[in-house]
Amino acid sequence: MKLGVLGTGTVGRTIATALVAKGYDVKLGSRAADHAGAREWVERSGSHASQGTFADAAAHGAITFNCTNGMHSIAALRTCRDALHGKVLIDVTNALDGSKGFPPSLFVCNTDSLAEQIQRELPETRVVKALNTLTASLMVDGTRIPDTDVFVAGNDAEAKASVAGLLHKAFGWPREHVIDAGDITASRGLEMFVPLWLRLYGALGTGIFNIRVVKG
């Protein structure tokens, strides 16, 4: 299966590396086709790894992960509009604005979310919010902290099922721990969890933690 990953930061490279290790054919996309960081990743990752522009990666992937910086996601995705037509886009981004220091604030919240903005920008793309509530190393290892949960949100039930299946097959997330949070507006809550995540990171001194939903 061919997959695209947009973004060469920690999240993008972590996801792309985990996917290649599972045998997927992955193209890592960046602003420039000859991005040095992407080239280094390809050289380390073997024959199932390649690089290109954002549009190249989106065209390559049957499913594409959006791991771009949230502040610049819309601009990056505009270059992929045609390549993402009708496809599933897994949005891993967060609407973080670090321009005023740490901790960052959210540049959109409450009545809107970055995932909703992306869905409006790309109405023919099936956007599914997922993985944004975790640190990168836990995104790709659903067994590291047993019995904790990850979420999906989006308007297309079939797309969410495809993403849940990929999270299970590629990253080991047990199907019963992939919770469907609802339509794309549920992304508001998933993105607004991140300020709490940052506070917990400070309190715990590590990002290796996750949450579990327990029904009474």
pLDDT digits over 121-162, tens only?
A: 999 999 999 999 999 999 999 999 999 999 999 999 999 999
Peptide bond into 195 cis (omega under 30): no
Q: Is the pLDDT of residue 98 over 90?
A: no
Q: Is 137 exposed, middle or buried, given 0-12, 13-18 or 19+ CB atoms closer than 10 A? A: middle
Domains of the chain: 2-204 (3.40.50.720)
pLDDT in tens, 16-60: 999 999 999 999 999 988 899 999 999 999 999 999 999 999 999
Per the listing, tokens 């790309």 go with: 122
CA dist., res. 79 & res. 29, Å (int): 11
Query: What is the torsion angle, in degrees rounded to the nearest 10, for the CA atoms of residue 190, residue 71, residue 79 and residue 119?
Result: 30
Nearest to 211 by CA among 136, 138, 150, 139: 150
Task: Name the token pair of 74.
Answer: 């819309």
pTM for the model = 0.97
105 pairs with which residues across the strands?
97
Which residues are 203's β-sheet partners?
none
